[in-house]
Structure 1
Amino acid sequence: MAPSADPVVAQETKKTPLQLISQGACLPGIPKHPSFAAQRQWMLEKMALAFRVFARKGYTDGMAGHISIRDPENPHTFWTNPLAVHFGMLKASDMILVNYEGMPVGGNMSRPANAAGFLIHSAVHQARPDVIAACHTHSVHGMAWSAFGRPLEMLTQDIAYLYGDAQAVYKDFGGVVLTQEEGDKIGAALGPRGKGMILQNHGLITVGSTVDEACFLMTLMELGCQCQLLAEAAAANGIPKVYIPDESAKYTFENSSDPETLYWEGQPDLEYEAYMCKGEHQS
């Protein structure tokens, strides 16, 4: 039977990206919880797991690096990690709740938050009300590629998840972020639809509607930076790069980079961390 020409019927039968990737019964959507308290605890546990993913993958760098999640009940506040605690040790109860003025207003008060992290994340959350979670790391390949001040090229299927204005570059490095002006400039550079950004001479930032999404995009960007550096090295020896056609990159982005699919992309690493730490992240 030929496809229906009726646009209403066509719209009803169009599959979502998550349905397209699921052969058989579709994976469920992003979980919802009956109360703010339950939603908050779930988010904080996922946040702790995301830090442990970053630790296992080697994204640690002294006191640098942070994740933030917007509080589900009070969206003008966000949770972040305590200063000078290794990513691989973090638990849900370790996180600090801060407001847009930088004042701790809940959670763990035993240590301060990272001042540079606060300035970056508060600017991102204020500039982008749709952003629930944001990650920033000083990963090795991310820092190396950031030295070029260039976006990642459409060289692999994974990087097509950041096609077009989903990827940004912040080129105005002003030193360690210790002023609101610098934080605001970073927040503005991400743009209204940015999912990942390269901070020139600094590192990477990713955002998402869940911490699962932002965590996965960080691992995707770091691997993308590694692939780009390897491709650049080969190209320097005379091997030409082959780029993904624009139409194919756009198609991949539109059918792979929605919040539900990116949430599920993050689950293998997060569930592995939960298994490896035997639930320690929940306390």
Structure 2
Amino acid sequence: MLDLGNRKSIYQPEQQGLKFPEEPAFESPAEERLDRKRRLVAACRAFAKHGLDYGFAGHLTIRDPERPELYWTNPMAVHFADVTLSSLILVDHDGKVVEGDYAVNRAGFVLHAAVHEEHPDILAMCHAHTVYGTAFASLAKPLLPMTQDHCAFFEDHVVIAAEGGKVAVENLAGTDVSKAFKGVKAAIHQNHGLLTASRHSIDAAAFWFMALERCCQQQLAVEATGAEPTLVPDDKARYSREHVGSEYIGWLHFQPIYDNLCRREPEMFL
């Protein structure tokens, strides 16, 4: 089992008093719920800014802190750039909207509900139909440890071949995906695209999705040259993953994105 915990490593400042992101602490479930919802909205906005939208496809989820059998998600057929705090919906594992005014994306419900139900430790999950991730998924192969960025996913992602090209509206597709997420943070679903999950936060799940899309783009570009890339040896790739691929590092990477969105798009919290 991979160490997916709060590894802070060399990225913690040695001197006290310096400005550095701190993980939030909460005095009540209501306070934590609001924070999770705000960060879910910001993750949707970040997906829009990174061009990860495709019509109504794409779904991000985060468990409710007080009712873990329910999860908050973006509404059906609302652009990532237009998701707001008030437009989020709360959904159960059967796909019923418990709170909110919008419908739920059926495909998102099948995949996400299955993963959340199979793995109570998974707090958040992301999926979108992206250009490079979907193209790379058609190859049905894992990422190579060709850069430090790729090493963040070394032995921490899987390729799911079953039911990959079929629209995910049946429970069987969700079951295939859920079983694959044991102890990893990412999956490449053949002929479908990318999925990420986090036991820590929606922040980590969102950043690792953006990073995975970028790694797919880089590997496709290198392979298009016809040259063989120089790979990072396995032992060094594992070392890199432990230091730059943890849940905490994913959370930390997302903080400047979150802060930037809070400053530039405050209306997202309406």
**TM-score normalised to the size of structure 2?**
0.92
Q: Match of 1:216, SS? A: helix
How far the C-alpha of 1:147 sits from its partner, in A, is 0.8
- Matching residue of 1:269: 257
How far the C-alpha of 1:260 sits from its partner, in A, is 2.1
In 2, the alpha carbon distance for the partners of 1:91 and 1:25 equals 38
- Matching residue of 2:236: 248
Code of the residue aligned with 1:58 in structure 2: it is G
| Unaligned segments of structure 2, at least 5 residues | 1-5
1:77 aligns with 2:65: no
1:184 aligns with 2:172: no
Deviation track 1:219-263 (CA, whole Å, cap 9, x = no partner) reads: 1101000000011011x2xx2210011011101111223322221
What is the aligned-residue RMSD (CA, Å)? 1.4
Pairing of 1:6-45 with structure 2 (within 5 A): 17-25=7-15, 27=20, 29-45=22-38
Code of the residue aligned with 2:96 in structure 1: it is M
In 1, the alpha carbon distance for the partners of 2:22 and 2:7 equals 11
Verify the 8 A CA contact 1:68 1:78 in the aligned structure 2: yes
In 1, the alpha carbon distance for the partners of 2:10 and 2:77 equals 42
In 1, the alpha carbon distance for the partners of 2:142 and 2:128 equals 17
Instruction: Give the length in aligned residue pairs.
Output: 260
Code of the residue aligned with 1:251 in structure 2: it is Y
How far the C-alpha of 1:175 sits from its partner, in A, is 1.0
Code of the residue aligned with 2:167 in structure 1: it is V
1:233 maps to which of 207, 224, 228: 224
Code of the residue aligned with 1:76 in structure 2: it is E
In 1, the alpha carbon distance for the partners of 2:168 and 2:84 equals 26
Deviation track 1:125-180 (CA, whole Å, cap 9, x = no partner) reads: 1121111110001111101111101111111101211121x101111125111111
| Unaligned segments of structure 1, at least 5 residues | 1-15
Q: 1:136 to 1:40 in 2, by over 3 A?
A: same
How far the C-alpha of 1:30 sits from its partner, in A, is 2.2
Verify the 8 A CA contact 2:21 2:255 in the aligned structure 1: no
In 2, the alpha carbon distance for the partners of 1:240 and 1:86 equals 39
Q: Match of 1:162, SS? A: coil
Q: Match of 1:134, SS? A: strand
**In terms of Rg, which structure is larger?**
1
**TM-score normalised to the size of structure 1?**
0.88
In 2, the alpha carbon distance for the partners of 1:97 and 1:55 equals 21
